[in-house]
Amino acid sequence: MGLDLSSVGHRTSPISYEYDFHQTVLYALGVGATRDELDFLYEGRGPLVLPSFAVIPAYAPVAQLFERTRCDMLKLLHGAQSVRLHRPIPAQGRLETVGEVAGIYDMKKLAQVMLSTRTTFQGEPLFDTEWTLYIRDEGGFGGPRPPKLDLPKISSGQAPTFSTTLPTSPEQALLYRLTGDLNPLHADPEFAGRAGFSEGPILHGLCTFGIVTRALIRHLSSDVRRVRALGAQFRKPVWPGDAIRTEGYLTNDGRYALEAYAGDRPDPVITNAWAEVTPS
């Protein structure tokens, strides 16, 4: 197999990420924020920082871990993403992030690679991320199965607590990639075709993740302080220009279960999504 199983447990050195409103505003625009979300787009109001921005400082260590595990980019699918915040993300600062190969699991035809990062600000934990990657044709190596997840359940017949549809532009992926995710799958039609997407470049899963986050934040009246954690599984591709409808369900355990749909297609593009939110 191509994957390096001995990479499990490998940690990167701390990697610095220094930013101000330029980076947080570009990220907000990259995930489709509009002028009616001015608190996230104008430095005169902070600006506020979307909780899903936590993935951005993780790009550099995650890229190092890609190389260490020998992930084949043509076989790689981003399966799931989660973010856990210890406090709201400041509008500017210098962060330190350490990445780790948390596990490589056998799913018969697929291998599942789990990468995690921990980011600190002024020496204190700020947020953690977890990246679930599927590598096609790399399973069957006799390794352990992936751990089971504790996900909130939508009750049968339950109506959504909120439903929000947000547009994307045909250029959304070209804008989002300026935040640091330069995978040619999202820009180069020839590369996308070789990766199995004859329709053309697809939208970054993390861009859709950010759009779902915006929908949740709208429901919370932009109170980013209430968001403690977010997670999502990426089920189907999204193309730039698709409108994304997010449905949120407040569950019995106090978490939100989330689903997202793209365009007029009936099957969700994001499932098993969730959010932990503190009471107002």
Beta strands in 60-194 (DSSP E): 76-85, 93-107, 110-121, 124-136, 162-166
- Is this prediction's pTM over 0.75? yes
The verdict on whether 181 is a catalytic residue reads yes
Q: Give me the pLDDT at residue 79, please.
A: 94
**Which H or E element spans position 272?**
strand 270-277
Catalytic residue among 181, 211, 242, 244: 181
For 208, 212, 247, 267, the CA distances from 261, given in Å and listed in that order, are 10, 10, 8, 7
How many CB atoms lie under 10 A from the CB of residue 81? 25
- Which of 30, 99, 205, 248 is an active site residue? 205
> What is the chain's pLDDT, residue by residue, as a tens digit (280 residues)?
689 999 999 999 999 999 999 999 999 999 999 999 999 999 999 899 999 999 999 999 999 999 999 988 778 889 999 999 999 999 999 999 999 999 999 999 999 999 999 999 999 999 999 999 999 889 999 999 999 988 998 988 899 999 999 999 999 999 999 999 998 999 999 999 988 899 999 999 999 999 999 999 999 999 999 999 999 999 999 999 999 999 999 998 899 999 999 999 999 999 999 999 998 7
Q: Which structural domains are found in the chain, ordered by start? A: 10-139+159-277 (3.10.129.10)
The residue whose two tokens read 């919370």 is 220
> Active-site residue 264, yes or no?
no
Contact 187, 59 (CB under 8 A): no
Q: Verify whether residue 202 is a known catalytic residue.
A: yes
Catalytic residue among 78, 186, 204, 219: 186
The whole-number pLDDT of residue 1 equals 60
Catalytic one among 104, 202, 217, 244? 202
Phi, psi of 97 (to 5 degrees): -125, 135
Tell me the residue type at 80: A
Active site residue 186: yes
Which of 89, 86, 82, 164 minimizes the C-alpha distance to 129? 82
Tell me the H-state helices in the chain.
21-30, 59-69, 172-176, 189-194, 205-219
